[in-house]
Amino acid sequence: MADADWGTASDFEDLNGQVAIVGVGESEHTKASGRSDLEIAAEAIEKALNDAGLTPADVDGIMFNRGAGSLFDAAAFHAHFGTKHDIWESDRGGGMVWAGTAPYAAAKAFRNRKAKVIVNSFAVAWATQRSSMTGGPGKFHAEEQFKANLEVPFGFFPQPVYFASIARRHMHEFGTTSAQLGSIAVSCRRHANRHPGAVMREKTLSLDQYLKRPFLADPLRVEDCCLISDGGGAFVMTTAERARDTPKPPVIAAGVGQARSKSGSYWSQQPDFTATPQVFCAPKAFEMAGITAADVDVLALYDPFTIAALMQIEDMGFCAKGEGGPFVEGSRLDFDGGALPYNTHGGMLSHAYVLGIAHVIELVRQLRGEAASQVGNADIAVYGGYTGHMASTLVLRRS
């Protein structure tokens, strides 16, 4: 049964207007590249600094994540760029939910005069590591002891199985259909086909083709699941005042929120099985930004699976709970004329599996007017991060 008490939002101070994103950069996104995640992160950071018109010596803050992917800290920065100056560092950055909350940690660092220019980066070499069996997205789930004892031996592993059972329950409770899930995959693929850096740039997908594909774990097909690829991204943040001097139009962080479910990362045990913690944090972020869901011009969601996107669309209030299926149907998520332009770079389903950092980069490009699939008059963009028991919401606006 749904339990209103199953999660909570963090109490965040107002950051509206304090932080600007002034540079973005992405590595190449590839199948197994043989490169390390640090090399990939460095490529993305170089491009982001170039985009911002800054040099490595200008960077006095760096953010990364310890849990997964690259750990590009101050030492890695100095090793790569040959610099020596003091750099503030924070491990509350990287991809996933932290791609959304990094601006919040940056705002604090700016206020406390810890840094003036902060780079957040995230990269994975999971395509490479998977072929050598040294890591990959299933690693954590295989090692946690409750999962290892009470889920894995029973075939409830890895992530596609969790989300297949969630999708089936969503279908049962709300009448969601395969064609509706497929619409999400098809829109993402269409966007990736138009994006120069997308892994799936050359491979088209129609809804008919989708529906004829076999089930991996029913009701999910391969096309409902994210890619595995090597790649990374980085974005440069500074104060809104400093951003006035940068070459590209700055993008302003207007609202941020973060929430967690009390069932930890045990999807099997989440009381409200077909919901995400976006229900707790999206309203807070929207309120901070002074917007409603109707004001959002372009949306990017952390999308390991089609169903994960569908639930977030509902939970963020773009439609009522259970009405996500009809809401996404047909081409309603397309960048050109869709009701809600969504993952206009192709997302993790079709662009690349860089766990959300490319989503934020794409939104910055949309608000600058330089996206490959540009949404007309894009003023407000929203990123939704969702990693198991945590979710985050970031509202960005054109300056």
Partner 1 sequence: MSRFPLPDVEWERTQPYFEGAVVGELRLPRCANCAGYNWFPPERCYYCDSDDLNWEACSGQGSLFSYTVVNRAFVKPFKTVTPYVTALISLAVEPRVRLVSYIVDCPPSLLEMDMPLDVVFRPLPFFDEGALFAGEAPIVVPMFRPLTAGSAS
Q: Indicate which residues carry an active-site annotation.
A: 302, 353
**One of 9, 24, 41, 220 touching partner 1 (CB under 8 A):** 220
- DSSP state, 249? P
Which residues 6+ apart lie within 8 Å of 39 measured at CB? none
- For residues 226-265, which are near partner 1 according to CB under 8 A? none
Which amino acid, residue 341? P
- Determine if the peptide bond prior to 219 is cis (ω within 30°): yes
Whole-number Å distance between alpha carbons of 49 and 238:
12
Binding mask 1-40 for partner 1 (x = CB under 8 A): x---------------------------------------
Is 381 in contact with 100 (CB distance < 8 Å)? Answer: no
Burial class (CB in 10 A: 0-12, 13-18, 19+), 113: exposed
* Two structure tokens written together for 158: 């890895």
Assess contact for 274 and 171: CB atoms under 8 A.
Answer: no
Give me the least distance between CB of 222 and partner 1, in Å please. Answer: 9
27-35, 152-160, 289-297, 344-352 -> range binding partner 1 (CB under 8 A): 152-160
Binding mask 162-191 toward partner 1 (x if CB under 8 A, else -) reads --xxx-xx--x-------------------
Residue whose CB is less far from partner 1, 53 or 271:
271
153 near partner 1, judged by CB under 8 A = yes
Q: What is the DSSP string of 86-103?
A: --EEESB-SSTTHHHHHH
Q: Which one, 81 or 157, has the nearer CB to partner 1?
A: 157
How many C-beta atoms surround the C-beta of residue 34 within 10 A? 12
Out of 79, 146, 204, 247, the only residue in the binding site for partner 1 (CB under 8 A) is 146
Nearer residue to partner 1 within complex by CB, 75 or 150: 150
Interface with partner 1, residue 75, by CB under 8 A: no
> Which residue ranges make up the site for partner 1 (CB under 8 A)?
1, 138, 142, 145-146, 148-158, 160-161, 164-166, 168-169, 172, 214-220, 266, 268-269, 271, 273
